């Protein structure tokens, strides 16, 4: 930029504006990240030592004990397994079911197209609600069943609209030439449409996967078996346990506070383990989900 001789030189005021703007944003970024960073250093710090204030930037007494304790918590490995399973199976199946629907409805010549569209849109505005859904889940035998994590979220109208927007942009000639070569809709969809729509699929995959990974309400509502616990739900229980312990601790002595502290540090370590995959994944898919959100918003 500076090399351009015709460029109008920025006035002092504008330069000042740039500096102030940058400074405010930098402070804001620190505010956004620090609370979590604080959790990270506490997870790497000895639990009892953490009770003394003064740990701000680096762990004071470095240890990996919290992580060892977190992994050996009862049910943690099982919960991690369930979380991974529901995320992988749930995301793959949901993306296929939703995109196949979007592909079919993107064809103007689909018979009863308008009816299907309205049929799928209505639940966006009105639903049965918490208890009727719960009764249905029990009624069809999905209670305490792993499939309760997969089946209800197989289709998402919001994602379908995003897919629809992407499929509509595809040139009609693509379909016509494939059809002339004798390809049916299934071949066309799996061999041509899905491969050329990778950006939007990646975006939807990331959103669906993170949704599954973080979802805890269905575990609380529809399961009672320990074996079906997910990590996200485990943390929801922690959230309630911490409150109890933290309130208790103010009435009693240091020993109790130490016990609470150790518990807290271990939970922090567990949460870090659970958040790590998300933290690693999302920056790489950023440009995809930015596009996904844009399409979704513009198409309404």
Q: Which is nearer to other proteins, 84 or 236 (CB)?
A: 236
Q: Which is nearer to other proteins, 91 or 98 (CB)?
A: 98
Q: Which is nearer to other proteins, 133 or 144 (CB)?
A: 133
Q: Which is nearer to other proteins, 152 or 199 (CB)?
A: 152
Q: Which is nearer to other proteins, 174 or 290 (CB)?
A: 290
Q: Smallest distance from the beta carbon of 227 to other proteins, in angstroms?
A: 19
Q: Smallest distance from the beta carbon of 248 to other proteins, in angstroms?
A: 9
Cβ-contact 91, 150 below 8 angstroms: no
Q: Which is nearer to other proteins, 35 or 74 (CB)?
A: 35
Q: Smallest distance from the beta carbon of 21 to other proteins, in angstroms?
A: 5
Q: Smallest distance from the beta carbon of 124 to other proteins, in angstroms?
A: 9
Q: How far apart are CA 272 and CA 17, in angstroms?
A: 38
The stretches of the chain forming alpha helices (DSSP H) are 12-43, 65-71, 76-105, 113-125, 130-139, 157-169, 172-180, 185-187, 194-196, 198-214, 217-222, 231-249, 254-281, 286-299
Q: Residue 62: phi, psi to the nearest 5?
A: -70, 135
Q: Smallest distance from the beta carbon of 77 to other proteins, in angstroms?
A: 18
Q: Smallest distance from the beta carbon of 189 to other proteins, in angstroms?
A: 7
Write out the DSSP string of 61-122: SB-SHHHHHHHTSTTHHHHHHHHHHHHHHHHHHHHHHHHHHHHHHT-TT-TTHHHHHHHHHH
**Which residues, at least 6 apart from 71, have a Cβ–Cβ distance to it below 8 Å?**
77, 270, 273
Tokens of 166: 């992407």
């Amino acid at each position: 930029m500076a090399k351009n001789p015709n460029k109008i030189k920025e006035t002092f005021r504008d330069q000042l504006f740039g500096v102030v703007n940058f400074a405010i944003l930098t402070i804001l970024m620190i505010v956004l990240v620090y609370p979590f960073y604080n959790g990270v250093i506490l997870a790497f710090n000895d639990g009892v030592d953490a009770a003394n204030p003064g740990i701000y930037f680096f762990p004071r007494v470095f240890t990996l004990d919290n992580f060892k304790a977190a992994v050996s918590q009862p049910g943690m490995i099982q919960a991690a397994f369930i979380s991974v399973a529901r995320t992988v199976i749930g995301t793959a199946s949901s993306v296929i079911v939703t995109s196949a629907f979007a592909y079919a409805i993107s064809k103007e010549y689909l018979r009863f197209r308008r009816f299907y569209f309205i049929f799928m849109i209505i639940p966006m505005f009105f639903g049965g609600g918490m208890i009727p859904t719960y009764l249905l889940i029990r009624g069809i035998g999905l209670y305490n069943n792993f499939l309760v994590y997969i089946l209800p979220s197989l289709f998402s109208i919001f994602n379908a609209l995003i897919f629809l927007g992407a499929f509509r942009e595809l040139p009609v000639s693509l379909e016509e030439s494939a059809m002339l070569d004798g390809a049916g809709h299934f071949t066309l969809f799996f061999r041509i449409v899905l491969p050329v729509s990778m950006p939007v699929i990646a975006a939807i995959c990331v959103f669906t996967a993170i949704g599954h990974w973080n979802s805890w309400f269905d575990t609380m509502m529809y399961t009672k078996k320990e074996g079906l616990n997910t990590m996200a739900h485990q943390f929801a229980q922690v959230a309630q346990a911490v409150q109890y312990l933290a309130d208790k601790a103010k009435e009693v002595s240091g020993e109790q506070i130490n016990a609470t502290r150790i518990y807290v540090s271990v939970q922090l370590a567990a949460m870090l383990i659970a958040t790590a995959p998300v933290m690693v994944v999302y920056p790489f898919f950023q440009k995809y989900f930015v596009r996904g959100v844009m399409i979704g918003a513009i198409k309404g």
